[in-house]
Amino acid sequence: MTFPDSELRTLREALREARVLISTHIHPDADAVGSVLAASEIVHGLGGSARIVLADDVPCRCRILPGAERVEKYASRLAAEPVSFAFIADSGSLDRLGDVRHLIAGDALIVNADHHLSNDRFGRINWVGVEFASTTELLFELCRALNVPMTPALADNLFAGLLSDTGRFRYSNTTAQSLAVASELIAAGARVMEITDGLYYDVLPADVRSLGEIYSTLELYGDGKISIMFVRINQLVEDPDSLVDLAASLRGVRVAALLSETGTDRIRVSLRSRDTINVARIAESFGGGGHAKAAGFRMIGTLESVRDRLLLELVAATRTEA
């Protein structure tokens, strides 16, 4: 991906004038958190100042990342302070920021850095590279274009996003280029074992106790091509999205869904595809987005009512793509 010189100059000049707000999508994953932390380091590396504000808390497993303690959670009192410059990473639209979008002035300079196919190009500067495995891989290339020094902390954050969005380098989006980037990040000081253990192998006992209950909710439809599991709000699982990967790994399954309660009548849906079914299109039809093989959305309803609506789309998709 090329970063036009005019846009790089605009970024540098804006940093001299204004403090930048950095944010990402609601319910952030490791690529989102790694991206905003990396964006903050890029800003500081260019002599600017930054404030990171998210709609949700940083997930416990991501708190090992350098700089995670600087992330603020949105509060309504902040809405009286609209910013003129925002750097948004790993988010397909401004709506995906949740309430943080209220902090951004209508005429603000917005840098939109993302790798999702469903991105709606909402920025004045749009660095959207769908060829990248993660947004942090895109930001690695941005660091090169801006001559930002690759510190061990920056390497940690970039590596975390790449590790996460490639499914620990096993998804089909893992390319020779992404492995080459991982190699350079490791050479720059990324802590492979610590980051991997922190993101995937530091499991709470409460999570393990809930796993059996969640696995028991497994439902199969469409001659075993569709799998669905449920997470109720009292089942404390730090990373429920990892469970949808298991649902997708079942023999014969082509598309999997994990439905999680997040509040009264609020359901979060995570989708995974193992073949040609494009779950991003399905998510977009419900107001969400993502990648062809990994996407999600939120919906008002109960687990059962959301399942019934979603199932119609999944059954149709498996028939169309048969």
What residue ranges define each of the domains in the chain, with the CATH number in brackets?
5-200 (3.90.1640.10), 205-320 (3.10.310.30)
Structure tokens at 298: 């939120």
Candidates 151, 113, 87, 93; CA nearest to 1 is 113
Separation CA 12–CA 143 (nearest Å): 13
| Predicted confidence pLDDT, tens digits, the chain (322 residues) | 899 999 999 999 999 888 999 999 988 999 999 999 999 999 999 999 999 999 999 998 999 999 999 999 998 766 667 899 999 999 999 999 999 999 999 999 999 999 998 899 999 999 999 999 999 999 999 999 999 999 999 999 999 999 999 989 988 899 999 999 999 999 999 999 999 999 988 877 877 788 888 999 999 999 999 999 999 988 867 666 678 888 999 999 999 999 999 877 899 999 999 888 999 899 999 988 888 888 889 999 999 999 999 999 999 999 886 5
Give ∠ CA 105-262-242 in degrees, rounded to 5. Answer: 100
Strands 20-23 and 83-89 come out as: parallel
Give ∠ CA 63-266-263 in degrees, rounded to 5. Answer: 60
Give ∠ CA 182-165-156 in degrees, rounded to 5. Answer: 45
User: Whole-structure pTM over 0.85, yes or no?
Assistant: yes
